[in-house]
A and B are shown apart, each in its own frame.
Chain A
């Protein structure tokens, strides 16, 4: 590829033709501030914070302007600084100054930017449109008054997730981001993945808070409060206390949760192993008895809502297994209650999830198979981090504790549920041994690991070639599903995770969550897998025990009752438009 030579603030640099000034500056070691820019996802030059002087009539946005041969870029002239300051001053003039009470206080890109540009006042007191806060969704709260219209959320929703639940409405000063026609989030096609929350530079998008309900339950002596922790939380929670992404804090998290006052601290990983048992047998059954193929995993609630909206015709392809969270919830108020002799009515079930969609999932009407609401409150990793902070719990200073029985023991196969390809790999570890009856030589199925959008592999199970695919991020899911829909899918089994990178990149994870962070968390996940003695779900003695004591056998009657579910086809349009269409 041809290269281009230019100077940035006098520093010569040579880059590939077509490179943006921003990237070239990075190479030259010059920092240019940005605000709306999101590499690879949102490069539109909208906020104008990254303007530089290229000698053109107007200043140019470094994030979108390609370099040119001999270009002399100046990033730190009085005119450039003045322009940036003015732009940020203008943005601040249309932003509520509620920093101290904002959910993003001390973790806000606008705050950081204003500080770094040395802005000490805004001269433009004027109208600020007051939009109502949209808290209709169980997962995500939208506060458009705080929105700075960078539109990263729109791009992530459209390009990464292929959902297009939100977009700009109105124009000019009245522009606001939201579902079409001013609908609320709950009636939109939003799948609650929370990827928008991760990229929001300010506090305009955040998770629905569950903390107060949990504090109340913990303070209620009549409640037996149990908590489960999802695989991906243990490699990310540390970030809320300044640790490196990917730091494994499982034991300290368990200790911290105990200190918060939970009566039992157990692990979603247990039900992840259980999922493998159920789903694995379901796959074998479909393969052998001629069920609907390819079968697609069903652990990821954002993905579930996505298929309900956009590919309802493929719902029969979904595994009927509930997600590990909901399996856990159903068992907590049946199996666990029975075993502990506690009235399930007194059990308050909390889960710690990397995910905002889980908040929606636990509210689904079908998630009450225990006779109660199976999971009462879902907290995201970020919320747990806040609870720890509020309670003065410093992870670093805690001992490593173990989970409580009977749903505390798990395997490496369960941990890897947290990363894309993990469910597939775990399933293959079990399916191989169950079908072939032979031990696996190498449990590591590396072809399904990593951040590539769609990964494929095939496994020879006793002469039967089982072809699998793994997709993460819903726009990748679309690629796979379109082929399934077209009858052009060679696969038997497909893993789909809603969020890029899988659950470690979930919408409830600490901010920032970017590609680099995702990679570190994934590394943490596989390290955790390797550290565990048992790495196959079917070898988990606690799983063997629960089948023996309570469930009977995979896909048995009790399993069907508690661990499997049905799905709801939803249209692409908001409920009232659908109704109207029907009425018309």
Chain B
């Protein structure tokens, strides 16, 4: 073999083939030839390297430089720059998400260096078409060892010692299985490789066959020797033509080399292989069905016993294992069972290959020791969830398995633990779901699959799964009934208990598992006819509207805005949200998170559009007719306690329904947190005032400076009013619980912001400010400090930046304004000098295991203490409810919030309702508005009404113009330049012009128009 100075490995796994590796390889070969390097550089086509989403990928050895997403024109550059001149092409290197620093070599990349590759030892490293390369990597040495130095019983003993369990899913001990086949009377015996990989999202076996076919051949031959078989079959599905081709090639080569066929190694052992191509029925992965199919019969399972070891192919003793199991055999024989058993957990030895798919950055193949936690696989190797979305659950075991929600990210992945969680290891498919996955829809998907793939032999699977699917279809179409979930559980349990084969017995798993962990989603579909993930399209108009807690008809008003009918657009918002000017500025816009436009370029800037149309007079273009007509005045009186967004909303709708509403406010100003929590530069007081004027015009009376529970009792209100709505918010800042926090200059964010809003703030001129926390209050406090003249403002957060709960734009603006964000720091104590804060002692943190929110837990490093200097320390770590005498007679929860009986806010006191932050704990404005709406409807019903807040006109949903399908980024919102901001509290965002608003509205894809 000639020596070359460089080897270029081009991944030719199925993923890279579809992303165009062949063209890249051709370009590379051509360039190398053009450069006259043909003799120096060898280009090798390998099997799958694993990182499929980065394809086409190539690795240049000897350095091991890893290039990803290589296009043919890049290949030319690699040849010229790297291969000729020895300069790495940096732009084609891989960088970790969120970092700019490129990682040069294969071994630098977590995706690779966290793996332990046994089954995949040669995949992506050798040319699968070359038996010489396999042999060079100790290939067929294990077969040689077994035949020449071991008895069959010793081979079996070694496999038993390794603790290897079947990688097809059930995890039966491989050595034991071989022993059964060896001991079974009957002749001839057979060895079968199950390569009928059919799980959606699974491609482990395929990659092994395509990337390292000889490892399977060798494993099977060793088994043949061990059990006394001289014929084997590989049953592989016809959908894997490349696997079939490479395997065929490998078998031919092995025969040529005398490694298959008669008298192998001249040691008197005969073994040969035949490929049987299956037509692609999922059920043929079940061993008895598979064997029926090999025999030429309809691929259907039969009851066991007899097991294949007793009566398998043509009734003869047969040992059947899956591809990955076979690939593990040669290293076990070579390195010994003890070596293999040293990897993994107590009962699950060795490694497992997983196919990562779904909502995960690094889709592809990884091999990790058994017992690696799910979180490590998903976040460290898989790179986490793309698009800033939240991890929701992972499905293992494909349609036979179940899901694992984020509470269990620390779960070590092995056979036993997964079973305890109600799922199975399966063959290694791991599908990751993010917040945009509807778990009912997911269950439906898998059930549809098994329904399609059910062989139809036994009644429970054939009819039962169909009936389950029909129930799920009903639920996802909004026709679910009370009792459906119970029926699904009953059916599922019965199918599990009675179905004939593994497919049927596991078919209900995805349903049972999603019910177990996501029952609330089923209930939302059935009871509220709502799909929380905005997937089940018959349950909503558009994802934006569906994800808005207040249910604002976004597509309708966006379309009106597009047409320049701004007043009408404004009116449409007011059907569902009485505070559009406020929300146009401060809403966390969950709508944008679900905007389908994001899949094309970026979400529509719904908040900015709302702000624009809300500024436009509601009757500006004669749209007043669209506004709900105030009902004639009724005699019933309602008291609202608290004038925050929840209280204002309830007051608005109740007044509109004709009730006499009085709002009690403890503070001197109306607006609750809107007035005293949100800084002026985000929400000007005059804007809030305009919103409140709408209410005053409806006849709502406001009584400020009256604290209910102190100045007037709840009992008195109940006497005077027919109903009371309590919405006092969560206005008490939470303490840090560390030494020194009572010193001067230490504030909680709520008090700090309130003081600013009430004009009582401390002058921070020239001072250094530290804000502790990562939420919106922290960012508000930090940016406000800057405006109060602080010299330097730093935010200290214990997790990483990606995990800060504050609105992303706010964090960006804060940094733009010069605020430093220091992450992975935990406050230990406030350093106090002469009674005043002078700094904060912090501990550095590392990210540990996962908490139940699915985020990594910050773990303070012992001895890493250091002090950050500061004149002012602001703790923005949470808010609590301050009931202060109000709660008498009303129950409270453990968290100190008001107890309610249902989501309308009904309390245990007759006629008293509650909602907003005082019930939920600190939450968003739009959630408070939604709570106000629900309470208003409930109060109306309580007082004899129908509970309908607004009677909306019929709307015909049609396009008012062509959809803008070309990639078009969102219209930026004009802002005051950074240098002009910090000198005052002037509003930062300037809002759209009419032209900008119309242009942005054109980006809406009108998900509400269906035909």
Residues of A at the B interface (CB closer than 8 Å) are: 44-49, 51, 58-59, 61, 64-66, 79, 82-83, 86-87, 90-91, 93-94, 123-124, 126-127, 148-149, 151, 167-168, 170-175
Known: A127-B470, A172-B462. A86 touches B494 (CB 8 A): yes
Q: Which residue of A lies closest to B283 (CB)?
A: A171
Q: Which residue of A lies closest to B496 (CB)?
A: A58
15 contacts between A and B (CB under 8 A): A44-B303, A48-B459, A59-B497, A59-B498, A64-B303, A87-B494, A93-B463, A94-B466, A126-B467, A126-B470, A171-B283, A171-B453, A171-B455, A172-B466, A173-B451
Complex alpha-carbon distance, A79 and B460, angstroms: 15
Q: In the complex, how many angstroms separate the beta carbon of B69 from the nearest chain A beta carbon?
A: 40
Complex alpha-carbon distance, A83 and B504, angstroms: 14
B122 contacts the other chain (Cβ, under 8 Å)?
no
B537 contacts the other chain (Cβ, under 8 Å)?
no
Complex alpha-carbon distance, A172 and B448, angstroms: 11
Contact of A45 with B500 in the complex, beta carbons under 8 Å? yes
B389 contacts the other chain (Cβ, under 8 Å)?
no
Complex alpha-carbon distance, A65 and B465, angstroms: 24
Residues of B at the A interface (CB closer than 8 Å) are: 281, 283, 298, 302-303, 305, 451-460, 462-467, 470, 487, 490-491, 494, 496-500, 505
Known: A48-B459, A65-B303, A87-B459. A168 touches B497 (CB 8 A): no
Known: A93-B467, A174-B456. A61 touches B500 (CB 8 A): yes
Contact of B494 with A83 in the complex, beta carbons under 8 Å? yes
**Contact for B298 among A46, A66, A149, A167, CB less than 8 A:** A167
Contact of A90 with B459 in the complex, beta carbons under 8 Å? yes
Contact of A173 with B303 in the complex, beta carbons under 8 Å? no
Contact of A90 with B497 in the complex, beta carbons under 8 Å? no
Q: Which residue of A lies closest to B450 (CB)?
A: A172
Complex alpha-carbon distance, A168 and B505, angstroms: 22
Please name all residues of chain A whose beta carbon is closer than 8 Å to the beta carbon of B499 when the two chains form the complex.
48, 58
Contact of A171 with B498 in the complex, beta carbons under 8 Å? no
Q: Which residue of A lies closest to B474 (CB)?
A: A126
Contact of A90 with B458 in the complex, beta carbons under 8 Å? no
Contact of A48 with B466 in the complex, beta carbons under 8 Å? no
Contact of B456 with A173 in the complex, beta carbons under 8 Å? yes
Please name all residues of chain A whose beta carbon is closer than 8 Å to the beta carbon of B464 when the two chains form the complex.
86, 90
Please name all residues of chain A whose beta carbon is closer than 8 Å to the beta carbon of B497 when the two chains form the complex.
51, 58-59, 79, 83
Q: Which residue of B lies closest to A151 (CB)?
A: B457
Please name all residues of chain A whose beta carbon is closer than 8 Å to the beta carbon of B458 when the two chains form the complex.
45-48
Complex alpha-carbon distance, A258 and B465, angstroms: 55
CB-based closest 9 A-B pairs: A175-B456, A172-B454, A90-B463, A86-B494, A45-B303, A126-B470, A124-B467, A173-B466, A64-B303
Please name all residues of chain B whose beta carbon is closer than 8 Å to the beta carbon of A123 when the two chains form the complex.
487
Contact of B456 with A58 in the complex, beta carbons under 8 Å? no
Q: In the complex, how many angstroms separate the beta carbon of A153 from the nearest chain B beta carbon?
A: 15
Complex alpha-carbon distance, A58 and B452, angstroms: 23
Q: In the complex, how many angstroms separate the beta carbon of A118 from the nearest chain B beta carbon?
A: 17
Please name all residues of chain B whose beta carbon is closer than 8 Å to the beta carbon of A87 when the two chains form the complex.
459-460, 494, 498
**Contact for A61 among B303, B452, B470, B490, CB less than 8 A:** B303
Complex alpha-carbon distance, A173 and B451, angstroms: 7
Q: In the complex, how many angstroms separate the beta carbon of A403 from the nearest chain B beta carbon?
A: 49
Among A59, A87, A148, A175, the most chain B Cβ lie within 10 Å of the Cβ of A87
Complex alpha-carbon distance, A123 and B466, angstroms: 13
Complex alpha-carbon distance, A168 and B487, angstroms: 30
Complex alpha-carbon distance, A171 and B280, angstroms: 13
Known: A91-B459, A91-B463, A149-B462. A48 touches B498 (CB 8 A): yes
Please name all residues of chain B whose beta carbon is closer than 8 Å to the beta carbon of A48 when the two chains form the complex.
458-460, 498-500
Complex alpha-carbon distance, A66 and B311, angstroms: 14
Complex alpha-carbon distance, A173 and B465, angstroms: 9
Please name all residues of chain B whose beta carbon is closer than 8 Å to the beta carbon of A51 when the two chains form the complex.
497-498
Complex alpha-carbon distance, A167 and B454, angstroms: 17
Contact of A90 with B467 in the complex, beta carbons under 8 Å? yes
Q: Which residue of B lies closest to A53 (CB)?
A: B497
Please name all residues of chain B whose beta carbon is closer than 8 Å to the beta carbon of A86 when the two chains form the complex.
460, 464, 490-491, 494, 498
Known: A44-B303, A61-B303, A126-B470. A170 touches B498 (CB 8 A): no
Among B464, B467, B487, the most chain A Cβ lie within 10 Å of the Cβ of B467
Contact of B463 with A58 in the complex, beta carbons under 8 Å? no
Please name all residues of chain A whose beta carbon is closer than 8 Å to the beta carbon of B490 when the two chains form the complex.
86
Please name all residues of chain B whose beta carbon is closer than 8 Å to the beta carbon of A126 when the two chains form the complex.
466-467, 470
Contact of A172 with B451 in the complex, beta carbons under 8 Å? yes
Please name all residues of chain A whose beta carbon is closer than 8 Å to the beta carbon of B452 when the two chains form the complex.
172
Q: Which residue of B lies closest to A85 (CB)?
A: B494
Known: A59-B497, A79-B497, A86-B490. A173 touches B298 (CB 8 A): no
Contact of B456 with A149 in the complex, beta carbons under 8 Å? yes
Complex alpha-carbon distance, A127 and B465, angstroms: 12
Contact of B463 with A46 in the complex, beta carbons under 8 Å? no
Additional A-B contact list (11), CB under 8 Å, known A58-B499, A123-B487: A44-B302, A48-B458, A58-B496, A58-B497, A124-B467, A148-B459, A151-B457, A171-B283, A172-B454, A174-B456, A175-B457
Q: In the complex, how many angstroms separate the beta carbon of A181 from the nearest chain B beta carbon?
A: 14
Please name all residues of chain A whose beta carbon is closer than 8 Å to the beta carbon of B505 when the two chains form the complex.
58
Contact of B500 with A171 in the complex, beta carbons under 8 Å? no
Complex alpha-carbon distance, A58 and B458, angstroms: 14
Complex alpha-carbon distance, A529 and B608, angstroms: 102
Please name all residues of chain B whose beta carbon is closer than 8 Å to the beta carbon of A172 when the two chains form the complex.
451-456, 462, 465-466
Complex alpha-carbon distance, A65 and B304, angstroms: 8
Q: In the complex, how many angstroms separate the beta carbon of A92 from the nearest chain B beta carbon?
A: 9
Q: In the complex, how many angstroms separate the beta carbon of A405 from the nearest chain B beta carbon?
A: 56
Known: A44-B302, A47-B458, A173-B451. A94 touches B498 (CB 8 A): no
Complex alpha-carbon distance, A48 and B462, angstroms: 11
Known: A51-B498, A127-B470. A170 touches B456 (CB 8 A): yes
Q: In the complex, how many angstroms separate the beta carbon of B477 from the nearest chain A beta carbon?
A: 14
Please name all residues of chain A whose beta carbon is closer than 8 Å to the beta carbon of B451 when the two chains form the complex.
172-173
Please name all residues of chain B whose beta carbon is closer than 8 Å to the beta carbon of A127 when the two chains form the complex.
466, 470
Q: In the complex, how many angstroms separate the beta carbon of B457 from the nearest chain A beta carbon?
A: 5
Q: In the complex, how many angstroms separate the beta carbon of B169 from the nearest chain A beta carbon?
A: 15
Complex alpha-carbon distance, A58 and B304, angstroms: 12
Q: In the complex, how many angstroms separate the beta carbon of A400 from the nearest chain B beta carbon?
A: 48
Complex alpha-carbon distance, A148 and B456, angstroms: 11
Complex alpha-carbon distance, A44 and B297, angstroms: 15
Q: In the complex, how many angstroms separate the beta carbon of A42 from the nearest chain B beta carbon?
A: 12
Please name all residues of chain A whose beta carbon is closer than 8 Å to the beta carbon of B494 when the two chains form the complex.
82-83, 86-87
Contact of A47 with B298 in the complex, beta carbons under 8 Å? no
**Contact for A90 among B303, B454, B457, B460, CB less than 8 A:** B460
Contact of B491 with A173 in the complex, beta carbons under 8 Å? no
Please name all residues of chain A whose beta carbon is closer than 8 Å to the beta carbon of B466 when the two chains form the complex.
94, 126-127, 172-173
Q: Which residue of B lies closest to A170 (CB)?
A: B456
Please name all residues of chain A whose beta carbon is closer than 8 Å to the beta carbon of B454 when the two chains form the complex.
171-173
Please name all residues of chain B whose beta carbon is closer than 8 Å to the beta carbon of A49 when the two chains form the complex.
459
Please name all residues of chain B whose beta carbon is closer than 8 Å to the beta carbon of A175 when the two chains form the complex.
455-457, 462
Please name all residues of chain B whose beta carbon is closer than 8 Å to the beta carbon of A59 when the two chains form the complex.
497-498
Please name all residues of chain B whose beta carbon is closer than 8 Å to the beta carbon of A66 when the two chains form the complex.
305
Please name all residues of chain A whose beta carbon is closer than 8 Å to the beta carbon of B467 when the two chains form the complex.
90, 93, 124, 126
Complex alpha-carbon distance, A170 and B457, angstroms: 11
Complex alpha-carbon distance, A61 and B496, angstroms: 13
Please name all residues of chain B whose beta carbon is closer than 8 Å to the beta carbon of A93 when the two chains form the complex.
463, 467
Please name all residues of chain A whose beta carbon is closer than 8 Å to the beta carbon of B305 when the two chains form the complex.
65-66
Q: In the complex, how many angstroms separate the beta carbon of B290 from the nearest chain A beta carbon?
A: 15
**Contact for B456 among A44, A64, A90, A168, CB less than 8 A:** A168
Complex alpha-carbon distance, A93 and B459, angstroms: 11
Q: In the complex, how many angstroms separate the beta carbon of B289 from the nearest chain A beta carbon?
A: 11
Q: Which residue of A lies closest to B499 (CB)?
A: A48
Q: In the complex, how many angstroms separate the beta carbon of B530 from the nearest chain A beta carbon?
A: 25
Please name all residues of chain A whose beta carbon is closer than 8 Å to the beta carbon of B496 when the two chains form the complex.
58
Q: Which residue of B lies closest to A66 (CB)?
A: B305
Among A94, A149, A167, A171, the most chain B Cβ lie within 10 Å of the Cβ of A171
Known: A58-B498, A64-B303. A47 touches B459 (CB 8 A): yes
Among B305, B470, B500, the most chain A Cβ lie within 10 Å of the Cβ of B500
